[in-house]
Structure 1
């Protein structure tokens, strides 16, 4: 049971091979950093570096010191391997050739 001083949020991360979606009960004043640490997701995915990876809530980028609301989904985003615009240009160029 969740009391008035705590709330439940989700922490989500998709690696190249798996997706982790964890529910965690945290203090109502918890920041993104605190929620990520308390969730245990970094132990499951040691490649996560929250000082490098971008973090958001429901698809919107947020600073690590942002506070959350009950039911929020914290998302940890992996760095892109390729620039999407450049990849599209290469595909278009390849299709134009043949």
Structure 2
């Protein structure tokens, strides 16, 4: 895919357990990670998710968390990943499973 000068091609990915979406974008060089998420308009693709979720979500690039998505600039070919918050704390889930396993049947 040819990208015009001064622009780069990136992807923004978000997933729910039953639905996933990767939005391909051509953005201006100098676009931040958070700006790309806004340009992907994920709230339009996921109306069941509160729109402000995408404004405050933790973000990563190719599985590596981004510390400052409001200032980190994207590079050609980056895939931005929008992370959902955990529904249950992993430690609490393990404790719950262990408690169930100890219960007599």
TM-score bucket of the superposed structures, by smaller chain: 0.7 to 0.9
Q: Which residue of 1 aligns with 2:99?
A: 93
Q: Which residue of 1 aligns with 2:56?
A: 52
Gap regions ≥5 residues in structure 2: none
- Measured in 2, the distance between the counterparts of 1:31 and 1:52 equals 14
3-state SS of the aligned residue for 2:86? coil
What is the number of residues matched between the two proteins? 98
TM-score (norm 1): 0.85
Q: Which residue of 2 aligns with 1:64?
A: 69
Note the C-alpha offset of 1:20. 0.7
Is the CA contact (8 Å cut-off) linking 1:36 and 1:42 kept in structure 2? no
TM-score (norm 2): 0.80
* Runs of 4+ residues over 4 Å off in structure 1: none
Note the C-alpha offset of 1:5. 1.0
Gap regions ≥5 residues in structure 1: none
Compute the RMSD of aligned alpha carbons.
1.7
**Which string of whole-angstrom CA distances, capped at 9 and with x for unpartnered residues, describes residues 19-78 of structure 1?**
011111111210012211222223222424234321111122212221111111111111
